[in-house]
Chains A and B, each alone.
Chain A
Amino acid sequence: NAGVTQTPKFQVLKTGQSMTLQCAQDMNHEYMSWYRQDPGMGLRLIHYSVGAGITDQGEVPNGYNVSRSTTEDFPLRLLSAAPSQTSVYFCASSLNGAGTQYFGPGTRLLVL
């Protein structure tokens, strides 16, 4: 099992550009989520999904879109990047929201 994979590992964007952060898992987990990690803030939930075709907002959803067309994939889209979105992004998956979450290695994003 590869577990949870994320691409790219590092990305630099200019303000206003768009991009998609990829996340995939091969554990057949129904629950997937995206977090951002900022210094002194811990991890904050951006969006989550309890299964294919179902997504919901977390604590900090503004500026981000998600979709879940398959169980395996949960991409995060930035439609118009802003410097405030400079952060490290983690994708996670689990059997359900109450269980142990398995994290990907993260994507470090810098928006200039």
Chain B
Amino acid sequence: GDSVTQMEGPVTLSEEAFLTINCTYTATGYPSLFWYVQYPGEGLQLLLKATKADDKGSNKGFEATYRKETTSFHLEKGSVQVSDSAVYFCALSDRDGANSKLTFGKGITLSVRP
């Protein structure tokens, strides 16, 4: 079945540091890929997505590129802020129409120090 693997956490960075969070996936067919973010005490919200190979999703300074050849969707940000402290989830959905489901990675906690 489909699966998503994220790098182990937690991750602690200083403000303005460069961020990379690795995500790889296993899926049949051509899934859509997502990064969701969960701020403390809140539900998840979509950060960015990509629906086909070589697409780049971007939002709030974060970027991720859909790499079919390496089955990866790594999240990057050039300069993190304290307000980026949150849990980040990589996810995929198959394209089985109405019955598609999201499969999540385990999530990684990012803490950014002032």
Contact = CB atoms under 8 A, between A and B. Distances in A.
A56 B42 CA distance: 26
A74 interface: no
B58 interface: no
B102 A45 contact: yes
Contacts, number: 66
Most buried by A among B36, B101, B106: B101
Contact of B93 (A50, A51, A98): A98
Nearest to A98: B100
Nearest to A88: B43
Interface stretch (A36-44, A63-71, A78-86): A36-44
A106 B94 CA distance: 25
Nearest to B93: A98
A97 B102 contact: yes
Interface in A76-107: 90, 92, 96-106
B102 A41 contact: no
A61 interface: no
Interface string B32-75: 10101000001111100100000000000000000000000000
Question: Interface SS of chain B: helix, strand, loop or mixed?
Answer: mixed
B97 interface: yes
A67 B30 CA distance: 31
Nearest to A44: B104
Interface of B: 32, 34, 36, 42-46, 49, 89, 93-102, 104-107
Can you list the 10 inter-chain pairs with the closest CB atoms, starting with the nearest? A97-B100, A103-B43, A98-B100, A42-B106, A42-B104, A103-B44, A43-B104, A50-B98, A98-B93, A105-B43
13 contacts: A4-B43, A41-B106, A42-B104, A58-B101, A90-B43, A90-B44, A92-B44, A97-B97, A97-B101, A98-B93, A98-B95, A104-B43, A105-B43
Given A42-B105, A105-B43, 17 more contacts: A4-B43, A33-B101, A33-B102, A35-B104, A43-B104, A44-B104, A45-B102, A50-B99, A56-B99, A97-B101, A97-B102, A98-B94, A98-B97, A100-B34, A101-B44, A103-B44, A106-B42
